[in-house]
Amino acid sequence: MSRRNKLQKFAEILTFPNVYENFDNYPPRLTGKGGVDVDLKGQWKAKHFKNDNPITLELACGRGEYTVALAEKYPNRNFIGVDIKGARIWKGARIALEKELTNAAFLRTRIELIAAFFEAGEIDEIWITFPDPFLKKGKSNRRLTSPKFLDHYRKLLKQDGLMHLKTDEGVLSEFTLEVLEADEKAKILYQDTDIYSKPLPMEELEVKTYYENMHLEKGKTIKYIRFTIN
């Protein structure tokens, strides 16, 4: 993608009412449409969604396929896609606006800062869909299911709130299972190393992202883990 194209998307995002961005990490703060400062911590339902429906996060949402698809499929639930790449978020946010999905929003921030923007227990469910597995030696602590990230999620996830990992990468799947088994607060509810080899256990898994379709075309199997962390 050209630099000019990216700059155009960044400028357009500033006009979107469904995108919030974090540019300053210390202290973390959010800006909304027009670059205006906003404070949504503990108030996402009241101030943005204007309803009392449960909230699901999609972490490392990329182009937001899951966020948009689930928002369309479940109009009585709220969905927030989270990613650091504004040019990626732009696509999902634009589609959500075109489809008038008022239950879909996007948050641009580093995931390690996520607890700064949500109150304890404000989130009902978290999806991690095809994140970077960080396979290089010494990078495992950057995986989104590493212990340090689970601690961030605990700060905002409600008691017994569900977490989901969907990935094509066996190393990440095995790593996650090891982390969860070593975590006294975590509980593995379901796992599968090849979800499409049998009837799917839940409708949400029917959604296929851009990257997932690429992996399937290469003959890779899709792994899924459902668990709780508090």
Q: Which residues are catalytic?
A: 132
Q: Strands 19-21 and 104-108: what pairing?
A: parallel
Q: What is the spatial distance between Cα 134 and Cα 47, in angstroms, rounded to a whole number? A: 36
Q: Are 190 and 163 in contact (CB under 8 A)?
A: no
- Contacts by 48-55, CB closer than 8 A, 24 or more apart: 48/105, 49/78, 49/102, 49/103, 49/105, 51/78, 51/103, 53/77, 53/78, 53/103, 54/78, 54/124, 54/125, 55/79, 55/80, 55/122, 55/123, 55/124, 55/125
Residue 69 CB neighbour total at 10 angstroms: 21
Q: Which two tokens stand for residue 209?
A: 């992202």
CB 226 within 8 A of CB 164: yes
For 177, the enclosing helix (H) or strand (E) is: helix 170-182
Q: Are 128 and 82 a contacting pair, CB within 8 Å?
A: no
Tokens of 108: 């641009």
